Amino acid sequence: MNRCAQAVLAEFGDVVFAYGESDEYSFVLGRSAALYGRRTSKIVTSICSSFTAHYVFLWAQVMGPDTPLLAPPSFDGRAVCYPSLDNIRDYLSWRQADCHINNLYNTCFWALVHGGATAQEAHARLSVTAPCHHCVVLSQPAVST
């Protein structure tokens, strides 16, 4: 996915920043961007199309020739025009915090499973704790990584 984002950055000079988490990527265009006359639907469809094409094109290089692509990928997109750089920073900060929370959950989940819990037990244990308490789960001897 990161290679796809790099390709989008290389292809669209008006895209000045990309941030990815899981299967979601955000692309930031500069304030002076003139790409497709700033027509949002054209920008969104072109970036989604390029990202998807690169995903297919790069699959074998990234995953290896013995790992077939089992279904055609598709990605959706939307455009948001933020009024200031502060708003963009806040959005990207939220995305980064969300990434941290998801990573912490997944780390705890797999630590519990590798420590002997079933997937259902691990999910049940984590669903009743706030993300700030997930670090406590990792520090317990039965699930240390």
Is residue 23 domain-shared with residue 44, that is, in the same domain? yes
Distance of CA 16 to the CA centre of its chain: 17
Is residue 113 domain-shared with residue 49, that is, in the same domain? no
Is residue 36 domain-shared with residue 106, that is, in the same domain? no
Looking at 55, 81, 107, which one is the last position of a domain? Answer: 81
103-139 as b/e: b if 16+ CB within 10 A: ebbebbbebbeeeebeeeebeebbeeeeeeebeebee
What are residue 28's DSSP bridge partners?
17
Number of separate domains in the chain: 2
Whole-structure pTM value? 0.79
Is residue 71 domain-shared with residue 88, that is, in the same domain? no
Looking at 64, 81, 98, which one is the last position of a domain? Answer: 81
Higher pLDDT, 134 or 66: 66
The mean pLDDT of the chain is 91
3-state DSSP assignment of residue 115: coil
> Which pLDDT score is estimated for 145?
46
Q: Tell me the residue range of the domain where 102 lies.
A: 83-145
> Which pLDDT score is estimated for 127?
87
Is residue 66 domain-shared with residue 13, that is, in the same domain? yes
DSSP state letters, 39-81: -HHHHHHHHHHHHHHHHHHHHHHHH-TTS---S----------
Cβ neighbours around 143 below 10 Å, total: 20
> Which pLDDT score is estimated for 77?
93
Q: In the predicted model, is pLDDT for residue 23 greater than 90?
A: no
3-state DSSP assignment of residue 23: coil
> Which pLDDT score is estimated for 144?
46
Instruction: Say which DSSP state 108 is in.
Output: H
